[in-house]
């Protein structure tokens, strides 16, 4: 997946400042769409909301298995309790 620099390299150097600014904004939006998907939503602070598998509201058993493997059972239990408290269905 291309990053912002990839899209910025495509902007002509001799473009007028207004056009360059518009193209930079479009490049930033394209990177966000590549990361979060087309039609993603934002929270009240303007940050994109993660909705995919493994996101805070959609945790999988693999997430907790990895915590248990590398940090221990008690850390996994704490993470599971924190996810339940935050409203995740685990």
Q: What's the average pLDDT block by block, 10 residues per block, for the chain (90 residues)? A: 84 93 94 88 88 75 91 93 81
| 7 falls within a domain | yes
| 45 falls within a domain | no
pTM: 0.56
Residue 84's pLDDT is: 86
- Residue written as tokens 């940050």? 47
Residues 2 and 30 in one domain: yes
The total of structural domains in the chain comes to 2
Residues 72 and 90 in one domain: yes
Residue 88's pLDDT is: 72
Distance CA 83, CA 67 (A): 13
Residues 85 and 61 in one domain: yes
| 5 falls within a domain | yes
The sign of the dihedral angle between the CA atoms of 44, 47, 51, 54 is negative
Range of the domain at 76: 50-90
Residues 56 and 25 in one domain: no
| 54 falls within a domain | yes
């Amino acid at each position: 997946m291309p990053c912002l620099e990839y899209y910025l390299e495509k902007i002509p150097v001799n473009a007028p400042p207004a056009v360059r600014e518009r193209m930079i904004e479009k490049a930033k939006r394209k990177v966000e769409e590549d990361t979060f998907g087309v039609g993603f939503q934002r929270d009240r602070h303007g940050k994109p909301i993660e909705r995919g598998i493994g996101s805070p509201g959609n945790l999988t058993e693999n997430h907790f298995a990895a915590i248990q493997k590398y940090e221990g059972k008690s850390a996994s239990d704490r993470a599971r309790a924190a996810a339940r408290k935050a409203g995740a269905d685990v």
